[in-house]
Amino acid sequence: MVLERSRTGVIPTQESMPDATAAGPSPEPAPDPSGSVSVALAQFYPRLGDVAANIAAHLTVIATAAASGAGLVVFPELSLTGYFLKDQVPEVALRIDAPEIHALQDASRDGDIDIVAGLILESDAHRFYNASLYISGGEVVHVHRKVYLPTYGLFDEQRYLAAGDRFRAFDAPLGNRTEHRWRAGILICEDLWHPTSAGLLARQGVDLIICPSASPGRGLLQGDAVGTASSYDVMTRTYAQLFTTYVLYCNRSGFEDGVGFWGGSRVVDPAGIVVAEVRGAQESVLFHSLERSAIRRARVAYPLLRDERNDVNDAETDRLRRRYTRG
């Protein structure tokens, strides 16, 4: 795995991944009064069905990211389990109080770093969800259960999983490395393909949309990119610009059942500009500094959220609901 660093407007360069175990304990972070914070996207190759191996790999990456000064490390969709689980879903599912989750909580507290990790989450009613956890300071701060479960083409999620039913924003501590409050929301892969998902988060005041993904290469090549890569390029840039928010897109790498995942993890700024990305499908950890001032500049230049007519949207939605209810 390689470690990639970037600054705004600079193409990331690659270097060898440092030995996280040799880095020692991370120093006490000093909050940035300007609101800037470093984030890490772990473009990771999970081992299908091997939760123990995946947890071990997570802890190594988390320690490295913390030692490098990141306030947040994001892992892809289903990073603890792999994607094409099928009948393995009940075997790899974790409850919220599972030892594996406690290990991530401990790593978050010990490294002063927030973590987004993907898993199959089992409910008290023994329903299984494709979920991502946001962990900070040793606590699970937020759980997002994937709402839109693709069941077409090579996807079959509805056969094995239950769907989530909400999109909620939350305060993201970002490892307490910034003095400014950041509001965040999580959309998992297919959720991003539905514009209302990002719109609902924007209405709740998010500054940061986090999208863990397990997107395989599908569709015709468009230039140097597969069709899905081109689609995600358009979506991430469009949502970032329309909602004047950062978008963190973290895709996985590797192969499962002969299907390849195209990687391409990226950071898109509130002007819709890709400011950092992994150019390829290799395992990588991409670092980038999010600048609070970039959000201000975008919202002053493009006051789209200020001018949004939520009253009209609500009234029209109510009208359509009444019409369809009457049949």
Distance of alpha carbon 279 from alpha carbon 211, whole angstroms:
18
Average pLDDT over residues 63-87: 97
In the chain, the percentage of residues whose pLDDT exceeds 70 is: 87
User: What are 203-219's pLDDT values in tens digits?
Assistant: 999 999 999 999 997 65
Average pLDDT over residues 143-151: 98
The number of distinct structural domains making up the chain is 1
Give the domain extent around 21: 2-326
Contact between 242 and 203 under an 8 Å Cβ cutoff? The reply is: no
User: What are 109-119's pLDDT values in tens digits?
Assistant: 999 999 999 99
Residue 19: is its pLDDT beyond 60? no
Task: Return the pLDDT at 178.
Answer: 85
Q: Which amino acid is at 46?
A: P
Task: For residue 295, give the 3-state DSSP assignment.
Answer: helix
**Count of alpha carbons within 13 angstroms of residue 283, beta-carbon side:** 13
User: What are 238-277's pLDDT values in tens digits?
Assistant: 999 999 999 999 999 999 989 999 999 999 999 999 999 9
Query: To which residue do tokens 């209302």 refer?
Result: 196
Whichever domain contains 66, its CATH number is 3.60.110.10
Going by the DSSP 8-state scheme, the letter that residue 154 receives in this structure is: T
Contact between 176 and 137 under an 8 Å Cβ cutoff? The reply is: yes
